[in-house]
Structure 1
Amino acid sequence: MTSQERQTIATTEAPGAIGPYSQAVQIGNMLITSGQLGMDTKGVFPVSVEEQTQRSLLNVKAILESAGFTMNDVIKTTVFLQDMNDFQKVNEVYATFFTEPYPARSAVQVAKLPKGGLVEIEVIAVKA
């Protein structure tokens, strides 16, 4: 793939898109994922925010791996929380998926997430 070619990434190892968007798009050595809710491939959400965070990051990991990337290639994450009071709980799970040097990150509280989710995470990854 040349640096200008755009490729849609999709895997059955993560929930499919629930609208007119792709699980991820790759351009050259950069991959950008859509936000991944904390649900499994059958659309089932675990109850706790910790379990949803883990599921969200497992979905991100599956998408990355389907395109030949790893969690170590992630340079930026955005975490959307339904309740900022869950930040520490999310942070504890998040820390188990990344090692130093950690990716840059933003975390924001939103009024509502699709399908009643508690957390949604999107990433940008670059292969050096």
Structure 2
Amino acid sequence: MKTDKITRKNPANMPAPVGQYTHITRIPRNAELFVTSGQIGADRNGHFPDSLNEQVTNTFNNIKTVLESEHLDAEHIIKVNIWATEKIDWDFLYAEWGQLFCHDYPAMTIGYITELGLSEIKIEIEIWAAKV
């Protein structure tokens, strides 16, 4: 099936995703690819809140700002990589996630690690996007 738009699907012969993501995202030929650096939980002044949830909110605000700078939105996101240094409150993260994504979720990878670039950083999220 060839199409000129980004498509997402979960193959019927696989287990359903365990979260709000899609198993496979197809990017059409000649799409323009955008890759962000990992976005972190600092606010506009460079301050890191102590709580992971506050950093999650700031991280999603930073993601929206980066996307908007290139005239992109959630429909353009094809892949999300998340790294966290402590257990994620998934109900909270998905509430923030839901403000960015409606129902067409991108592919996603999550990893728990011991430390990120600075000791204050509790979460980092990298976005891959494509514009057709």
CA displacement 1:60-97 (0-9 Å, x = unmatched): 11111111111221111011110135444433322332
Equivalent residues of 1:79, 1:122 under 8 A apart: yes
Equivalent residues of 1:54, 1:94 under 8 A apart: no
Q: TM-score, normalised by structure 2?
A: 0.68
CA displacement 1:13-48 (0-9 Å, x = unmatched): xxxxxxxxxxxxxxx611100001110132101232
Aligned length: 102
Equivalent residues in 2 for 1:31-110, closer than 5 Å = 31-110=34-113
**Divergent runs of 4+, >6 A:** none
| Secondary structure in 1 matching 2:78 | strand
Equivalent residues of 2:52, 2:88 under 8 A apart: no
* Residue identity matched to 1:37: I
Percent identity, aligned pairs only, is: 30
Higher CA-based Rg? 2
2:10 aligned partner:
none
Note if 1:127 corresponds to 2:131: yes
| Secondary structure in 2 matching 1:47 | coil
| Distance in 1 (alpha carbons) for counterparts of 2:96 and 2:123 | 12
* Mean CA deviation greater in 111-120 or 90-99: 90-99
CA 1:102–1:85 in 2, change beyond 3 Å: closer, same or farther? closer
| Secondary structure in 1 matching 2:114 | coil
Question: How big is the alpha-carbon RMSD for the aligned residues of Structure 1 and Structure 2?
Answer: 2.0
Unaligned runs of 5+ in 2: 1-30
| Distance in 2 (alpha carbons) for counterparts of 1:86 and 1:101 | 22
Equivalent residues of 1:72, 1:99 under 8 A apart: no
Unaligned runs of 5+ in 1: 1-27
| Distance in 1 (alpha carbons) for counterparts of 2:88 and 2:79 | 22
